[in-house]
Amino acid sequence: MCRIAGIFDPRVNNLQQEIVRMRDAMKNGGPDDAGIFMHSSMPLAFGHRRLSLIDLSEAGHQPMIDAELTIVFNGEIYNYKELKSTLQHYGHLFKTESDTEVILKAYRQWGTDAFEFFNGMFALAILDEKKQQLVLARDHAGIKPLYYYKDRDCLYFASEIRAFQCVEKVFEENPQWRSAFLTFGHLPEPITTLKNVQPLEKGTVMLIDLPSLKSTKRCFFNWKFSGKLKNEAEALQLIRETMEQAVERHLVSDAPIGLFLSGGIDSSLLTLIAAKTQKENLHTLSIVFNEERFSEDKYQQLIIDRTKAHHQSFLVTKEIFNERLDDAMQAMDQPTLDGINTYFISMYARAYGLKAVLSGLGADELFGGYPSFQQHRRMNFVKKAPGSLLKSLQLFPDHRIRKLSYAGMDHAAAEYLSYRGIFTPVSVASLLGTTEKQIEQELEQLSTYYPLNGLTDGNRVSWIETNFYMQNQLLKDSDFMSMWHGLEIRVPFLDKEVMLMAGVIDEVIKFKKSPPKYLLVKAFEQELPVQIWKRKKQGFTFPFEGWLKENDYIQPSTSEEQKLYKDFQRKRLSWGRYWCALLMNRFMHKELHATA
């Protein structure tokens, strides 16, 4: 797991200095090693920061060069040993034990078709001198980020947006990011805070000719729902086998690895599965609070007792939270309402001596764990109301009613926002001094990035939750918050084989109403304590609201913020929406400071 950066720019005065700046802006994500590659005849440079997990020796140093191929790679290829064996049968010789070298040999053997064979999480760049081509690629689920800027004259890419703000070239602010953030509570792809700096689409390879910078893209993975498997007993067996294999793959590491244990279904399942192979070497950690209603230690203890895991609980208090809040804000590469919880669990995981942890992220999206899987039936009914009536719902004081106004817009973004939206278009327009029509047009334009392709019912909700909430908030937050602490988060539920398996199962049995995640629970009902799967769902949350209300960070600093603060105090504005508006202003100030 690493951080990568690259520049192709004939106008740069000191290319080596620029690539080092980009690389080291992300040094937290790669504390173990650093390297650069400078092309001998082109204005091309790569930068790399390394977090060593596989092949901890100097042989794993990057950029890695193999004859005419040079690579910078961020991520893990979990099936690299099997691929290595196959490549050896083709006659390839290996000098290291790293998955990075396997990528290079696989590309040499199969070209860009190699990406279809990788099961893992990755963002990478390969320079192919023979073809005079640069190859950028991102994994099937978009677990690892890869941002780029390209025009007729130059190309910049990096693992984090902060890297673009450290170079000589000036990247303008994206005028759309503020409205997007107020609407979603995060920045949905392809929007970033910088104009024309965008993420490479997941499951995509981009080929860039050098030095012309002409480019083409090809999708090498497209998640589909066939629903061919309709037999429940067969589905349960498939889930068990696929999940057990996925967890075993994700535990491959030459450095200390453990699991987040929250006490919920997903992390408990991963811990129970991991215990079958880890036995004496199973390490888990959790966060606990003095505030009783937020602590889940009694559920965590059920799993600890059953697995005999080496467990460490870390107490987070209001004082610790206040002390670390400024650093958590610095860790935030892009604005988000969430993520601070991941900041703390990652900080403690690193303090525990771990360099990688497994997370249960993805299970709710694939197997129906969110309320939206039941709410969509109500939304289908609401959509039948006249458009004028739906539009008028934005004026209701209750935000749960206001969100229903999104049912009057017929596109993917609106459907997602009807479940999870923060501000409605009329409120966003008021806050930003623009028009409601402008906000609605931006949402409609954004939705072309998210084609639903005729999906219905549970699979439709699964696709929406996966491509909006998980992709744009959970995965993004997990990446920059964990890497700030030099920690890798692995997500077995987003293993390529698990995602394909979920797509094959018929939605009628996959999304049974009770209990949530019915098939997942049923597949492991002999191991999973009934107290865990029968209790009311509780997300991984902090006593966040109460602590922040007493923190100077939320005190208004402008007349506009003062008005919002008064509305919040009078309960005309919910805490979440006040925090969103405040964070937008705070993030703008942080951005200006970073570029000054």
The mean-pLDDT minimum among 197-211, 259-273, 333-347, 388-402 falls in: 388-402
Report the Cα 134 to chain-centroid distance in Å.
Answer: 25
**Between 575-595 and 318-331, two packed helices, what is the crossing angle to 10 degrees?**
50
Average pLDDT, integer, range 355-365: 96
Give the residue from 180, 579, 570 showing the smallest Cα distance to 397.
570
Q: Which residues contact 539 (CB under 8 A, 6 or more apart)?
A: none
Please tell me the distance from the alpha carbon of residue 590 to that of residue 480, in angstroms, as a whole number.
16
Lowest mean pLDDT segment, chosen from 258-272, 473-487, 521-535? 521-535
Does 364 have pLDDT greater than 80?
Answer: yes
Give the residue-averaged pLDDT of 468-487.
97
- The rounded distance, in Å, linking the Cα atoms of 480 and 343 is 9
The mean pLDDT value of the chain amounts to: 91
Q: Do β-strands 133-138 and 257-260 pair in parallel, antiparallel, or remain unpaired?
A: unpaired
Which range, 390-399, 486-495, 514-523, has the best average confidence (pLDDT)? Answer: 486-495
Please return the burial class of 288, using the count of CB atoms within 10 Å of its CB with bins 0-12, 13-18 and 19+.
middle
What pLDDT is attached to residue 540? 53
Q: What percent of the chain has pLDDT over 90?
A: 72
- Provide the pLDDT for residue 44: 98
Helix (H, G, I), strand (E, B) or coil at 418: helix
pLDDT of residue 508: 93
**Pick the residue with more confidence: 210 or 512?**
210
Q: Are 23 and 183 in contact (CB under 8 A)?
A: no
Question: For the segment 494-553, what is each residue's pLDDT rounded down to a tens digit?
Answer: 999 999 999 999 999 999 877 789 999 999 999 999 888 877 655 556 787 778 777 878
Confidence tier at 419 by pLDDT (50, 70, 90) = very high
pLDDT at site 594: 52
Classify burial at 582, counting beta carbons within 10 Å of its beta carbon; exposed 0-12, middle 13-18, buried 19 or more: buried
Q: In the 3-class helix/strand/coil scheme, how is 252-274 assigned residue by residue?
A: CCCCCEEEECCCCHHHHHHHHHH
pLDDT recorded at residue 59: 80
Q: Are 206 and 217 in contact (CB under 8 A)?
A: yes
The answer, yes or no, to whether residue 28 has pLDDT greater than 60, is yes
- Residue 541's pLDDT is 63
Question: What is the pLDDT at residue 298?
Answer: 82
Q: Which of 197, 127, 111 is nearest to 155 (CA)?
A: 197
Radius of gyration of the chain (CA): 24
What the block records as the tokens of 15 is: 């290319």
**What is the average pLDDT across 332-336?**
95
Distance in angstroms (rounded) separating the CA atoms of residues 429 and 20:
41
Whether the per-residue pLDDT at 317 is higher than 50: the answer is yes
Span 319-331, average pLDDT: 93
| Those residues with Cβ within 8 angstroms of residue 12's Cβ, 6 or more apart along the chain or in another chain | 18, 43, 167, 168, 169
pLDDT of residue 593: 46
Give the three-state DSSP class for 456. Answer: coil
Least confident span in 149-163, 415-429, 476-490, 576-590: 576-590
- For residue 290, with 0-12 CB atoms within 10 Å meaning exposed, 13-18 middle and 19 or more buried, which class applies? exposed
Q: What is the mean predicted confidence (pLDDT) over 101-105? A: 97
- Among residues of the chain, what percentage have pLDDT more than 70? 97
d(CA 367, CA 518): 8
Q: Quote the CA–CA distance of 585 and 544 in Å, as a whole number.
A: 19
Least Cα distance to 483 among 71, 163, 192, 8 occurs for 163
- Is the model's pLDDT at 214 over the cut of 50? yes
Instruction: Give pLDDT, residue 255.
Output: 81
| Alpha-carbon 288 to chain mean position | 24
Average pLDDT over residues 198-207: 98
Q: In the prediction, which pLDDT does 536 show?
A: 67
Contact 75, 122 (CB under 8 A): yes
* Residue from 138, 135, 129 nearest 155 by CA: 135
Type of residue numbered 534? K
Is 571 a residue whose pLDDT tops 70?
A: yes
What digits encode the pLDDT tens for the residues 138-151?
999 999 999 999 99
- Neighbouring C-alpha atoms within 13 Å toward the C-beta of 273: 30
Structural tokens at position 407: 């049912």
The separation between the first and the last C-alpha atoms of the chain, rounded to the nearest angstrom, is: 30
The one-letter amino acid at 1: M
Res. 1: pLDDT tops 80: no
